[in-house]
């Protein structure tokens, strides 16, 4: 029964006229293919999606068909920052990135950056993503309805001591699918079970009625954590579910 209800909501989210009100957002990611093993180069990655924030430097070589080098550093996000201003949060991210570049002698380089921001966003382009709402205990002011890539760039610009190259905005489900897909090209689903839960998958573009075009495929970020937000699961919630929801920082979500 729950499966049938979820399937119905997945289809609502893909619909041209129904996606606006769909609790399961089915967001286009503008990622059109999984890796084919020929990718190579040096890349930076930022991963924000919980109480910790990670900075990574990844080197990929085509001949070896594998990640040759991966350095990472974890930065904590204090509780008060999760509930403070958006400017504070992005300044903290820019500082952590700057410290990482300094300690790994990368400050002189301008490397492309993958930004994993694991909150419900409406992605308009690969480098433009609007935060729909905060979840997972975050509630920073001045970010909902804004382009988070732009907020990151502004924070880096305020520092003025390093530069980054092109930015690709990637949901954590997409990053998970892509990292597995690099080793196994049959991988076409990414799933997260952590502070929150979510999944993405490769969909035929002709089934994604909300965007133009018929040819090829695109990865869809389901945002299935929203399943039930419209009350469609109320008949199976227990009193404990209701209490946990009511006392959470994001009640109703």
On whether the CB atoms of residues 147 and 125 are closer than 8 A, the answer is no
245 catalytically annotated = no
Rounded CA separation 245/242 (Å):
5
In whole angstroms, what is the distance from residue 206 CA to residue 194 CA?
32
Of the residues 9, 47, 136, 147, which is catalytic? 136
Of 172, 183, 209, 246, which residue is the catalytic one? 172
| Ranges of H-type helices in 160-196 | 172-183
> Has 172 been annotated as catalytic?
yes
CA torsion sign for 66, 181, 49, 88 is positive
**DSSP 8-state symbol, 166:** -
Q: Which of the 8 DSSP states describes residue 208?
A: -
Give 51-103 as a 3 state SS string: CEEEEEEEEEECCCCEEEEEEEEEEECCHHHHCCEHHHHHHHHHHHHHHHHHH
Tally Cβ neighbours within 10 Å of residue 44: 23
Q: What is the maximum alpha-carbon separation in the chain? A: 58
Catalytic machinery residues: 136, 172
């Amino acid at each position: 029964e729950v499966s049938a209800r979820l399937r119905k909501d997945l289809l609502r989210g893909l619909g041209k006229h129904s996606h606006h009100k769909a609790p399961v957002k089915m967001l286009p990611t503008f990622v059109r293919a999984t890796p084919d093993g020929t990718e190579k180069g040096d890349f930076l990655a930022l991963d924000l999606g919980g109480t910790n924030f990670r900075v990574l430097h990844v080197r990929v070589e085509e001949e070896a068909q594998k990640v040759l080098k991966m350095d990472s550093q974890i930065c904590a996000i204090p509780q008060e920052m999760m509930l403070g201003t958006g400017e504070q949060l992005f300044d903290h991210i820019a500082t952590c990135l700057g410290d990482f570049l300094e300690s790994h002698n990368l400050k002189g380089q301008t490397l492309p950056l993958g930004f994993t921001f694991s909150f419900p966003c409406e992605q308009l382009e690969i480098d433009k993503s609007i935060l729909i709402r905060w979840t997972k205990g975050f509630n920073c002011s001045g970010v909902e309805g804004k382009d988070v890539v732009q907020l990151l760039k502004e924070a880096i610009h305020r520092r003025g001591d390093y530069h980054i190259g092109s930015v690709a905005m990637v949901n954590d489900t997409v990053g998970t699918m892509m990292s597995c897909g690099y080793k196994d090209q049959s991988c076409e689903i990414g799933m997260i079970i952590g502070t929150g839960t979510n999944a993405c998958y490769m969909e035929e573009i002709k089934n994604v009625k909300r965007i133009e075009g018929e040819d090829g495929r695109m990865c869809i970020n389901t945002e299935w954590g929203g399943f039930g937000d419209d009350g469609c699961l109320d008949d199976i919630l227990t009193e404990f579910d209701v209490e946990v929801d009511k006392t959470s920082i994001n009640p109703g979500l």
